[in-house]
Amino acid sequence: MRAVDLILKKKSGEAMTQPEIAWLVDGFVKGAVPDYQMAAWMMAVCFQGMNQAETAALTDAMIRSGDTVDLSALPGVKVDKHSTGGVGDTTTLVVAPLVAACGGTVAKMSGRGLGHTGGTLDKLESIPGVNIEIPIRRFFEIVHKTGLCVMGQTETLVPADRRMYALRDVTGTVSSIPLIASSVMSKKIAAGADAIVLDVKVGTGAFMQTIEEARTLARAMVDIGTHMGRRTVAIITDMNQPLGMAVGNGLEVREAIELLSGKIPESDPLYEVSMLLAAHMLLLAGLAADEAEAREKLRRALQSGAGLEKLSMMLLALGGDVACIHAPDMLCAVREKLPVTLGRAGYVSAMRAERIGVAAQLLGAGRATKADRIDPAVGLVMHKRHGMHVAADEPIATLYVNDPSHAAEAAELVRRSVTLSEQAPAHAPMVYDVIA
Ligand code: URA
Ligand code: CA
């Protein structure tokens, strides 16, 4: 086989066979297929797409590029969740402890932030002492003891994805549905979960800009999961504003702790999306007969403090200082807190969530390059959501700042992320669809 023939085949819109895809991925990982040919092929995929069988073959080839984790020694149905990435999305730190408190087993491998905000690992590392680069043996011990653990994805898990993503990032080939679907699902399947709940984000802060695109991505991922014998459900949720009020690592951990402490109302979007994700995890794990029962169990785990206790146990096992459970302000101690006002009044009718993410990144909450160090305490807290009224001199957000050099730019980005209207806008839903 020659790589150039496979590029030409995809370029002309023909479907590739399973052996062709396996050959290409294997050759790329071993260095026989150079970066420029892989990049050209992925660009052809961006324009021509891939059918279900091709996407499954690509996922399978990517999984085979490295090691897989066997979780069968752990009790029960191992259930994982994944979000396609959004701003202020702290759901993992809420959902994993609640599901564990309801008897679920959550053994989760997590990555670092790809774009403007940190990933779950970066958030956990904002807690003093936490070490998520633990040996897999220790990961199993913690899950056995507490029902949950999040660890850093090992280097040997899906190396094809790491190398393909690095190329996609610099060749304009990130936003292809089959490439995203195979990237996400290869990692989830290789990490060993029996059941997977996917949160597909749609809106200004997400990869997918329309509900139709999000549905197509959700179906592609559910098809792959089902094809590989994993119970898979996707929910499609709104990312036209940050999900939580907090954007930044320690700030988001504080918000997750507040939610698990019962301090955030049920009407809050972070609460709503977390509960829905957790309910589907319980359903897939066979721990509830229907959604109503799942929600009732979760509500009890929250109100009794059992969820917060699970988070505390996991943090302790990872070497973390659990004083933050009762004093979460310690996670976001900064030199300066700067209010951002708009200088005009109105109802928040639209937000550009990605700009708010970039503002937090400028303050040091995310990486512009892989080598950048994250400042765990900085970021911003929004005070207003879609539909709320804001007065001219009322802060719409507070910046948490240690290094003031980009504070003015960050404040301006927050200001430019908000559109005001004279009349209250129509209520915007948080959840658009559930795809099973
Ligand atoms: N997240 C991933 O893991 N992979 C993608 O391709 C996009 C988002
Ligand atoms: Ca995330």
User: Tokens for 257?
Assistant: 């702790």
Cβ contact 310:147 at 8 Å: yes
DSSP 424: P
Residue range(s) of every CATH 3.90.1170.30 domain in the chain: 330-421
- Whether ligand 1 lies within 6 angstroms of the CB of 183 is answered as yes
Give me the helix-helix angle, 91-101 and 291-303, nearest 10°. Answer: 100
Q: Which amino acid is at 315?
A: L
The residues, any chain, with a CB within 8 Å of residue 301's CB and separated by 6 or more, are: 98, 101, 102, 307
* Calpha distance 106→15 (Å, rounded): 37
Decide whether any atom of ligand 1 lies within 6 Å of the 173 Cβ.
no
CA-closest candidate to residue 248, choices 410, 81, 87, 409: 87
Q: Has 386 been annotated as catalytic?
A: no
Which residue shows structure tokens 């066997």?
70
SS3 content of the chain, % helix, strand, coil (to 5): 45, 15, 35
* Ligand 1 atom 2: residue of nearest CA: 184
Indicate if ligand 1 lies below 6 Å from the C-beta of 184. Answer: yes
- Cα 41 to ligand 2 centroid, rounded to whole Å: 28
As assigned by CATH, the class of the 3-63 domain is mainly alpha
- Which among 96, 120, 143 has a CA at the least distance from the CA of 281? 96
Closest protein CA for atom 7 of ligand 1: 180
Residue whose Cα lies nearest atom 3 of ligand 1: it is 184
Phi/psi at 78 (nearest 5 deg)? -85, 120
In angstroms, what is the span from residue 303 Cα to ligand 1's centroid?
Answer: 34
pLDDT tens for each residue of 59-95: 999 999 999 999 999 999 999 999 998 899 999 999 9
Residue among 78, 187, 254, 384 flagged as catalytic: 187
Separation of alpha carbons 269 and 429, rounded Å: 9
DSSP secondary structure letters along 124-166? HTTSTT------HHHHHHHHHHHSEEEEEPPTTB-HHHHHHHH
Q: Is 180 in the pocket of ligand 1 (CB under 6 A)?
A: yes
The DSSP secondary structure of 171-189, one letter per residue, reads: HT-S--HHHHHHHHHHHHH
Homologous superfamily (CATH) of 330-421 is: Pyrimidine nucleoside phosphorylase-like, C-terminal domain (3.90.1170.30)
**Spatial CA neighbour of 41 closest among 23, 60, 63, 65:** 23
Answer yes or no: is the C-beta of 59 below 6 A from any ligand 1 atom: no
Per-residue tokens: 150:
């999040």
Please indicate whether residue 82 is annotated as part of the active site. yes
**Tokens 């807190």 found at:** 337
Active-site residue (options: 83, 110, 126, 183) = 183
Q: Of all atoms in ligand 1, which is nearest to the CA of residue 183?
A: 4
The CATH code that applies to domain 79-326 is 3.40.1030.10
Catalytic residue among 78, 81, 82, 123: 82
Residue range(s) in the chain whose domain bears CATH number 3.40.1030.10: 79-326
Q: From the alpha carbon of 187, which atom of ligand 1 is closest?
A: 3
CA distance 220 to 185: 10
Ranges of residues in the chain with a pLDDT under 70 are: 113-118
**Continuous H helices in 290-379:** 291-303, 306-317, 323-326, 353-362
Radius of gyration of the chain (CA): 21
Q: Is 161 a catalytic residue?
A: yes
The ligand placed nearest to the CA atom of residue 168 is: 1
168 part of the active site = yes
Ligand that lies nearest to the alpha carbon of residue 187, given by its number in the listed order? 1
pLDDT (0 to 100) of residue 115: 62
pLDDT per residue as tens digits for the range 224-255: 999 999 999 999 999 999 999 999 999 999 99
CA-closest candidate to residue 221, choices 177, 176, 162: 177
Instruction: Tell the residue nearest (CA) to atom 5 of ligand 1.
Output: 180
Q: Do strands 418-421 and 389-390 pair parallel, antiparallel, or not at all (unpaired)?
A: unpaired
Q: Are 167 and 203 in contact (CB under 8 A)?
A: no
Q: How many CA atoms lie within 13 A of 258 on its CB side?
A: 20
Q: Distance between CA 302 and CA 282 in Å, rounded?
A: 14
Question: Which residues lie below 8 Å from residue 27, measured CB to CB, with a gap of 6+?
Answer: 3, 33
Q: Please provide the size of the chain in residues.
A: 436
Residues in a beta bridge with 347: 389, 421
Which is the catalytic residue, given 122, 161, 194, 199?
A: 161
Q: How far is the CA of 160 from the centre of ligand 1 (A)?
A: 13
DSSP state of 429: P
For residue 16, the CA-to-ligand 2 centroid distance in Å is: 32
Q: Residue 343, SS3?
A: coil
Handedness of CA 71, 72, 74, 79 (dihedral sign): positive
85 lines ligand 1 (CB under 6 A): yes
For residue 379, what are the β-bridge partners?
400
- Looking at the chain, the domain(s) classified CATH 1.20.970.10 span 3-63
- Assess whether the C-beta atom of 181 lies below 6 angstroms from ligand 1: no
Task: Provide the Cα torsion 221, 223, 229, 235; round to 10°.
Answer: 50
Query: Given CA atoms 182, 188, 189, 190 in this order, what sign does their dihedral have?
Result: positive
Catalytic residue among 78, 116, 123, 168: 168
Establish whether 268 is a catalytic residue.
no
User: Are the C-beta atoms of 211 and 432 separated by less than 8 Å?
Assistant: yes
pTM confidence score: 0.94
Is-contact 72 237, C-beta < 8 A?
A: no
